[in-house]
Every structure is written in C-alpha cells, then in structure tokens.
C-alpha cells in the first residue's frame, strides 16, 4: 500500500463543498470515531451464538461503553416478528436505525436500474418507518453508488426527493472476510482458541483507521468525525468491546453515530466514477492531488484473505 504524503486539498473539485477546519474541530483534537453496523443478518450461522445472543452481546457492549451506534438494516431481515423484536431492542436502547435497502442488491450492476433500486429502498422504508429511532439515512449495499454518471445522479436525486441523506462510511474495513474464517474455525472445533482472529481483526481495523484518518487530513485538511464500517456478525458479537477499548487506549474519542453524521464531509457529493466507497477516499480521488496508485478500498477483502492464508487463519 502506498502511504506517500498527499497534497492537501481544501476545496474538493466538482463537489463544490468547502471542508475547512472550523469551530468544534480543534487542530490537535483527538480523532473521533463512531460505530456503524450493516445488514442485521440475525439468522446467519448460529455457531457459538445464535441471533438473539449476538444481538444481546453487541447491545451489552455498546451500553457498557455508553455509546450509541447506527444500524443500517436490510429490510428483508425484519419482515418476521422475530426480526422486528430484535430490532426493537436497538430502538429502545437509543441507537440510530438506517435504511440499507430491502434486498441488498448491487446498484452498480449493469442490469440494476434507478427505478428498481429506488423501489427497493422504499420497500425497506415501509418496514422501518414505525421505529422511532429510524432516521432517513441510506447506506448503499457494498458502498456501490453507481457505475455511470447517469445512475449516480439519478439516485442522488431520488434520495433527495425522498428526504434521505447518504449514510457514508469514512473508515472502510473488511470484517466481512474475517468473520467467515472465524465461523469456519469454530464450526470445525467449537473449543478452538480464537485469540488470533481477535488480534488479526484489531490490527486490521487499526491499520484502516490510521489510513483513512491520514487521508482525510491530507485531503480536507483535518480529521473528520469518522464512521467505521462493521457488520452484524459473530466477530463483533465477540470482539466489539475489544475494538472500542483499543481505540480508547490509542487516544481516539468514541462518539455517537448521529453526532458523527453532523460532520460537513457527509454533505459532499464527489463526481468520481464508479461512485461510492469511503467518502474520504472518493474526495481524495476527486481532488486529483493524490498518488495515482491509491489503492481501491474494495480490494481490502482480497488483501486480508491473502494475509489470513499466510497466517493459517
């Protein structure tokens, strides 16, 4: 990965948004981070912990840390009363609930149309709207916001017309490739020592957080209120507390997700194609001030799988 120093850019090209430091963003302030969690696959493989137990474990961790996360929910996961009941626990605990579409399809797929994708968003909204903690933030599945300018702009228009803001990620991560390795190991040996999976996970997230925070400083001139991408899975049911403690031990400030989304970076609409991925990465690409070999964030999974193979994980 190329970590060369990038040139700062204060005004980000075609997005026409000025992202200068201002009140509330002291130059030497500790980096700030919020937890955002995607999908809500509570019916996934129940090795070690079932869906209810995973839900309780994650919520207990957040409560113990006095932290409110954002859960971006796939509508299809809460059609049943059981799914609604589990989501109600998030609502009652004060966590922000966002829309992650009904069926988690890739908007950048050539066969996906804006009309079909918009209908999928509204289908999820019908299931989510009665939860008091539901907020009109939409997170694109796989962070894919369109492979053409026409599709990108059509969906931005649709979201605005329906009162939505994009629930951007600033710190992208590949916890979704670590969790299946952990699950496989525990399926084969329920009593296995899983400390190495925890350590690998923490090292991976810390590496990504440093990368994106440095990229934000070099691109918009400051650290931002970060939104960390995680997923509702066994990995986080077991190790979310360790993850939060790690950031605190390194001097980062944990903040509520709704507070994080007040950062003006989330109003930016970079014109890069394909659209999507971390908002920090997109703005860095748009600025034209960065190394042309900047690694595409979606490659994280490929890199981390290769690393796990070498480590025997």
pLDDT at 19 over 60: no
pLDDT at 84 over 80: yes
pLDDT value, residue 56: 98
Q: Does some domain include residue 276?
A: yes
List pLDDT tens digits, range 47-81.
Answer: 999 999 999 999 999 999 999 999 999 999 999 99
Q: Give CA–CA dist 47/234, Å, rounded.
A: 8
Q: Does some domain include residue 21?
A: no
Query: How far is the CA of 124 from the CAs of 103, 107, 128, 129, 141, in angstroms?
Result: 8, 15, 6, 9, 13
Instruction: Please report which confidence band the pLDDT of residue 4 belongs to, taking 50, 70 and 90 as the band edges.
Output: very low
Beta carbons of 259 and 227 less than 8 angstroms apart: no
Q: Does some domain include residue 209?
A: yes
pLDDT at 183 over 60: yes
Within 13 A of 17's CA, how many CA atoms are on the CB side?
17
List pLDDT tens digits, range 90-140.
Answer: 999 999 999 999 999 999 999 999 999 999 999 999 999 999 999 999 999
Instruction: Please report which confidence band the pLDDT of residue 300 belongs to, taking 50, 70 and 90 as the band edges.
Output: confident
Q: Give CA–CA dist 281/168, Å, rounded.
A: 11
**Angle, vertex CA 55, rays to CA 52 and CA 60, nearest 5:** 125
**Residue 274 belongs to domain spanning:** 30-311
Q: Does some domain include residue 163?
A: yes
pLDDT value, residue 220: 95
pLDDT value, residue 292: 63
Report the percentage of the chain scoring pLDDT > 90.
85
Range with the poorest average pLDDT among 8-12, 154-158, 163-167, 181-185: 8-12
pLDDT at 157 over 70: yes
pLDDT value, residue 29: 84
List pLDDT tens digits, range 221-231.
Answer: 999 999 999 99
Instruction: Please report which confidence band the pLDDT of residue 301 belongs to, taking 50, 70 and 90 as the band edges.
Output: confident
Beta carbons of 233 and 182 less than 8 angstroms apart: no
Q: Give CA–CA dist 242/200, Å, rounded.
A: 12
Over residues 162-181, mean pLDDT: 97
pLDDT mean across residues, the chain:
90
pLDDT at 258 over 70: yes
Where do the DSSP E strands lie in the chain? 32-39, 70-73, 96-99, 134-138, 144-146, 165-166, 225-231, 253-254, 275-276
Q: Give CA–CA dist 293/291, Å, rounded.
A: 5
Number of domains in the chain: 1
Q: Does some domain include residue 12?
A: no
Higher pLDDT, residue 45 or 143: 143
Beta carbons of 49 and 232 less than 8 angstroms apart: no
Identify the CATH number of the domain in which residue 253 sits. 3.20.20.370
pLDDT at 20 over 60: no
pLDDT at 8 over 70: no
């Amino acid at each position: 990965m190329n970590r060369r120093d990038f040139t700062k850019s204060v005004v980000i090209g075609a997005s026409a948004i000025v992202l200068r430091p201002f009140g509330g963003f002291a130059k030497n302030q500790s980096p700030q981070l919020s937890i955002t969690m995607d999908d809500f696959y509570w019916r996934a493989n129940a090795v070690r912990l079932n869906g209810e137990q995973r839900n309780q474990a994650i919520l207990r961790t957040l409560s113990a840390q006095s932290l409110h996360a954002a859960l971006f929910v796939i509508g299809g996961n809460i059609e049943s009363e059981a799914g609604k009941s589990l989501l109600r626990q998030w609502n009652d605990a004060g966590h922000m609930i966002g829309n992650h579409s009904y069926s988690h399809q890739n908007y950048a797929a050539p066969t996906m149309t804006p009309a079909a994708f918009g209908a999928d968003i509204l289908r999820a909204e019908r299931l989510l709207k009665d939860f008091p903690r539901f907020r009109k933030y939409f997170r694109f599945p796989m962070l894919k916001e369109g492979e053409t300018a026409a599709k990108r702009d059509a969906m931005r228009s649709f979201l605005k017309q329906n009162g939505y803001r994009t629930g951007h990620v600033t710190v992208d991560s590949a916890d979704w490739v670590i969790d299946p390795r952990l699950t496989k190991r525990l399926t084969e040996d329920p009593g296995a020592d899983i400390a190495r999976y925890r350590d690998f996970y923490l090292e991976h997230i810390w590496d990504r957080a440093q990368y994106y925070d440095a990229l934000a400083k070099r691109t918009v001139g400051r650290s931002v209120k970060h939104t960390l991408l995680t997923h509702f899975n066994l990995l986080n049911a077991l190790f979310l507390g360790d993850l939060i403690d790690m950031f605190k031990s390194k001097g980062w400030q944990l903040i509520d997700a709704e507070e994080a989304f007040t950062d003006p970076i989330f109003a930016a609409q970079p014109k890069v194609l394909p659209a999507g991925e971390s908002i920090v990465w997109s703005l860095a690409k748009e600025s034209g001030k960065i190394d042309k070999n900047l690694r595409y964030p979606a490659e994280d999974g490929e890199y981390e799988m290769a690393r796990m193979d070498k480590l025997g994980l």
